[in-house]
Amino acid sequence: MNDPKNPQATPPSYYQRHIFFCLNERSDGSECCARHQAQEAFDRCKSLVKAAGLAGPGQVRVNKAGCLDRCAAGPVAVVYPEAVWYSYVDMSDIDEIVESHLKNGRVVERLLTPPHLGR
């Protein structure tokens, strides 16, 4: 609902943070996030967020995504509204993203996707 006094104002976000995991799998055998534990990372993130009581409106949403077109940096996940991209390696990285960023709003600098890496 727009603010009638300020029709250009952005409405409040339904979620405080929204993380998308690329789960894309390529059947031709070429590189894709699914070949690097993306499903396991998604499942782990979702269960950690739920266990921490962070899931739901006004809090955190964990979503599957198709190819995010940054395959060269994969596996990747992106957190909005900050638009922070992560390239993770293992499940301890997911634990750190949940604890630091999703829970406490602190970006995990060491896992940031290099800005020049795209497809």
Please tell me the distance from the alpha carbon of residue 69 to that of residue 66, in angstroms, as a whole number.
Answer: 9
Q: How would you list the strands of the sheet with 17-22, edge to edge?
A: 60-65, 17-22, 76-80, 84-87
**Least distance to ligand FES, CB of residue 34, Å:** 7
Task: Map the footprint of ligand FES across residues 17-76, applying CB under 6 A.
Answer: 22, 24, 32-33, 67-71, 74, 76
Let me know how long the chain is.
119
**Least distance to ligand FES, CB of residue 113, Å:** 10
**Least distance to ligand FES, CB of residue 32, Å:** 4
In the bound state with ligand FES, the residue whose beta carbon lies nearer, of 52 and 67, is: 67
**Least distance to ligand FES, CB of residue 43, Å:** 16
DSSP three-state, residue 59: coil
In the bound state with ligand FES, the residue whose beta carbon lies nearer, of 60 and 76, is: 76
- List Cα–Cα distances, 56 to 22, 68, 84, in angstroms: 21, 24, 20
Would you put residue 37 in left (φ > 0), alpha (ψ -120 to 50) or beta? left
Size of the site for ligand FES (CB under 6 A): 11
Q: Which residues bind ligand FES (CB under 6 A)?
A: 22, 24, 32-33, 67-71, 74, 76
